[in-house]
Amino acid sequence: MAADEANATDARAAPIAPLPDHRDVNMPWWQELWRRHAHITTPLRARGLPCDIEFGLSAYIVRVSLPDDSYLIISPPQEPSSDHPSGDPEGWIATREHPDDQTLFEVLYDSAPSGARRRPEARHGGSAQPLIEAIDLRLAQLGLLPHPALPHESPHVHPAQPAPTPPSPDIPGKPDRDPAYVYGDALRDLTDRLNAAESHADAAALLHQILEPTDGLLAQLGEFFEAAGEKAKEAEEDDGFDLSYDLADAAAEIRSLGEVLHVAEDRMRALTPLAPAPRLPSTPARAPSLPPRALPSAPPRHMR
């Protein structure tokens, strides 16, 4: 019991590693690269490991700083270069290196489909979850994992999805929703499910629907506003460009909100339900009535 409480406290207290500190962070092209690699950087940052995006030999890579001043390089196959989009390669290669010790070179994971020495993990291809699991395992062995994943949790890449709720039957007297707002209705239904959640784990699974960094609602809402901005640019009026900037700012703010709230799912899952409050002694539904007060006697009448 004490260990469970300690794990829950650690999960609430563990801060996500900050974003890189360089000017490219504010550039749209870098933000797009960061978004495409979020399924790699987000779970590692949740473990306290700072990440950055750099250009390798022929493709972009993820560089992960480790507590002993060594670092990980997580990349797609670099030679020959791949025609797969950034963040979605045919395989991942993760190596550990040290800037001052050239003898330290270790391959932690290699799921590239081709090569002289094909490794067992090649069957996983570009899947991120086995990559994160392999990094978790090796860094834990080396004592270089600042915030290990909780024992009962799988890596944060693809948590279990909540079971879909069947459509509710029509309720007499309840006004029908306007079918023109199906997307708002979908989110309203998700809110209803959150209100009815019976555990913090169920609530966390619903938060995952909103906060998952690539397919969640916030990520897709950012994509929507960015696409709307591009559509506004197609107009010939000057206001089209002004509107495109406003929409691009909205997309950036939504993605920033996702960064801020990333650990909300894990923090919700780690919460302990409050013990039910003790019930007060029941009180009678109706207080007993007081005995009737005696009426003052009438004054004596005088005879004439």
State how far the Cα of 215 lies from the Cα of 217, in Å rounded to an integer.
7
Local confidence band at 215 (pLDDT 50, 70, 90 cut-offs): confident
Give residue 166's pLDDT. 39
Beta bridge partners of 95: 73, 107
Q: Which is more confident, 142 or 238? A: 142
| Report for 64-78, 100-114, 146-160, 207-221: range of highest mean pLDDT | 64-78
Nearest to 72 by CA among 92, 89, 86, 90: 92
Torsion of CA 111, 35, 207, 218, to 10 degrees: -150
- The token pair that represents 10 in the structure block: 């650690």
Give residue 162's pLDDT. 41
Give residue 279's pLDDT. 57
User: What does the pLDDT look like over 162-194, one tens digit per residue?
Assistant: 434 434 433 344 455 556 777 888 888 888 888
Give residue 169's pLDDT. 38
Give residue 173's pLDDT. 43
Beta bridge partners of 74: 62, 94
Range with lowest mean pLDDT among 113-127, 179-193, 266-280, 281-295: 281-295
Give residue 170's pLDDT. 39
Q: Assign 51 to helix, strand or coil.
A: strand
Taking each continuous run of H as one helix and of E as one strand, the counts in the chain are: 9, 5
For tokens 């972009």, the residue is: 60
Give residue 226's pLDDT. 85
Give the phi and the psi of residue 77 in degrees, each rounded to 5: -55, 130
Give the phi and the psi of residue 19 in degrees, each rounded to 5: -65, 160
51-55, strands of its sheet edge to edge: 51-55, 60-65, 71-75, 93-97, 105-110
Give residue 276's pLDDT. 56
11 residue type, one letter? A
State how far the Cα of 182 lies from the Cα of 165, in Å rounded to an integer.
16
Beta bridge partners of 107: 95
Does the pTM surpass 0.85? The reply is no
- Region 234-262 average pLDDT: 83
State how far the Cα of 141 lies from the Cα of 158, in Å rounded to an integer.
24
Mean per-residue pLDDT of the chain: 77
Distance of CA 185 to CAs 83, 176, 180, 208, 220, Å?
Answer: 39, 11, 9, 18, 17
User: What are the helix (H) ranges across 196-289?
Assistant: 200-211, 217-233, 238-260, 264-270
- Whether the CB-CB separation of 40 and 109 falls below 8 Å is answered with no
Give residue 66's pLDDT. 96
Q: Assign 28 to helix, strand or coil.
A: helix
- Region 207-219 average pLDDT: 84
Local confidence band at 47 (pLDDT 50, 70, 90 cut-offs): very high
State how far the Cα of 177 lies from the Cα of 192, in Å rounded to an integer.
15
- The token pair that represents 13 in the structure block: 């207290």
Give residue 14's pLDDT. 60
- Whether the CB-CB separation of 259 and 234 falls below 8 Å is answered with no
User: What does the pLDDT look like over 104-162, one tens digit per residue?
Assistant: 999 999 998 875 567 788 888 888 989 999 999 999 999 999 877 654 444 444 433 44
